[in-house]
């Protein structure tokens, strides 16, 4: 079982919260679900495909809550393809029927495919936009409708990317989906700011997760990646999860409409590390 509980010296800021994390069967989504559970939130672990990963996340979330004294949290697994409007609707019905409330939505599910842009087939393009961007929009609508109806606010945290602002040649649909997340985050933040609802995003850099399996296990390819990162190393899912937990907590009570890049300096124009331009 993948160990995600490496840090224990953080507060329990999310006691009483109920949080849905999409795409939580591995990678960043798993680490976020576990961290929120460690901080006292009940988590709904969304997955798509086979349930084994979600089962592991559930076990880690339960262990993480219990280890920090949060007993009896109603963690739950919920299957849904976030590229499907019907499955999103059913997921929210299931969660709200069970919990009666939701406090935090984490739009994490996402994937990418490499292709020369002129050859990107339209089905792949549509699927990436449907999952990465439209799925986040539809989940946000469901969460917002609930937040508004019950009053008392809530928060949405989108998993964006440094590719929200850095173009990613060969990954056109992915770049568009993450660029769209910026205005999804900012527009909803402005529209709902007066109702106690905060909407933010996290922009990970290069993180050690299965989405990067093409290079994480290959020392030479990994060296190429890290050579471009100012901090000189790849990030861990737990380092990203910590930012989500902060944004979900009252420590971020005055923050809305922001993307916090957690990227080891990737957004700092690393090519300008040494002066060559003047």
- How far apart are CB 73 and ligand NAD at their closest, in Å? 21
Distance between CA 47 and CA 26 in Å, rounded? 9
Q: Between residues 66 and 77, which has the closer beta carbon with respect to ligand NAD?
A: 77
Q: Between residues 38 and 132, which has the closer beta carbon with respect to ligand NAD?
A: 132
Contact yes or no for 91/78 (Cβ under 8 A) = yes
Q: What is the chain's Cα-based Rg?
A: 18
**Stated length of the chain:** 278
Query: Which of 14, 32, 13 is CA-nearest to residue 23?
Result: 32
- How far apart are CB 96 and ligand NAD at their closest, in Å? 18
Which residue out of 47, 125, 174, 254 is catalytically annotated? 174
Tokens of 212: 């990067």
| Phi, psi of 7, rounded to the nearest 5 degrees | -115, 135
Contact yes or no for 44/76 (Cβ under 8 A) = yes
Q: Is the dihedral of CA 89, 91, 97, 103 positive or negative?
A: negative
Q: Between residues 39 and 208, which has the closer beta carbon with respect to ligand NAD?
A: 208
- Is 174 an annotated catalytic residue? yes
Tokens of 97: 């029927």
- How far apart are CB 18 and ligand NAD at their closest, in Å? 19
Using CB under 6 A, list all residues that contact ligand NAD: 22-23, 25-29, 46, 48-49, 81-83, 108-111, 131, 159, 161, 204, 206-207, 209-212
- How far apart are CB 117 and ligand NAD at their closest, in Å? 18
- How far apart are CB 65 and ligand NAD at their closest, in Å? 20
Query: Which of 173, 202, 207, 171 is CA-nearest to residue 185?
Result: 202
Distance between CA 108 and CA 82 in Å, rounded? 10
Q: Which residues are catalytic?
A: 174
């Amino acid at each position: 079982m993948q160990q995600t509980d490496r840090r224990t010296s953080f507060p329990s800021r999310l006691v009483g919260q109920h949080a849905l994390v999409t795409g939580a069967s591995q990678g960043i989504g798993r680490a976020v679900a576990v961290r929120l559970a460690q901080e006292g939130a009940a988590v709904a672990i969304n997955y798509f495909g086979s349930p084994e990963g979600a089962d592991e996340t559930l076990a880690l979330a339960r262990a993480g809550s219990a280890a920090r004294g949060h007993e009896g949290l109603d963690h739950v697994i919920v299957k849904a393809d976030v590229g499907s409007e019907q499955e999103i609707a059913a997921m929210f019905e299931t969660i709200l029927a069970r919990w009666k409330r939701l406090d935090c939505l984490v739009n994490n599910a996402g994937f990418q495919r490499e292709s020369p842009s002129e050859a990107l087939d339209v089905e792949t393009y549509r699927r990436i936009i449907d999952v990465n961007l439209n799925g986040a929009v539809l989940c946000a609508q469901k969460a917002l409708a609930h937040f508004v109806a019950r009053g008392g606010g809530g928060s949405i945290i989108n998993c964006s990317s440094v590719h929200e602002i850095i173009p990613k040649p060969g990954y056109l649909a992915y770049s568009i989906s993450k660029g769209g997340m910026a205005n999804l985050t900012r527009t909803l933040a402005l529209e709902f700011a007066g109702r106690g609802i905060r909407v933010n995003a996290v922009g990970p850099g290069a993180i050690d997760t299965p989405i990067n399996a093409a290079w994480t296990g290959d020392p030479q390819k990994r060296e190429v990646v890290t050579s471009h990162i100012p901090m000189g190393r790849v990030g861990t899912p737990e380092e990203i999860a910590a930012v989500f937990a902060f944004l979900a907590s009252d420590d971020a009570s005055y923050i809305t409409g922001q993307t916090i890049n957690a990227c080891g300096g990737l957004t700092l124009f690393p090519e300008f590390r040494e002066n060559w331009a003047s």
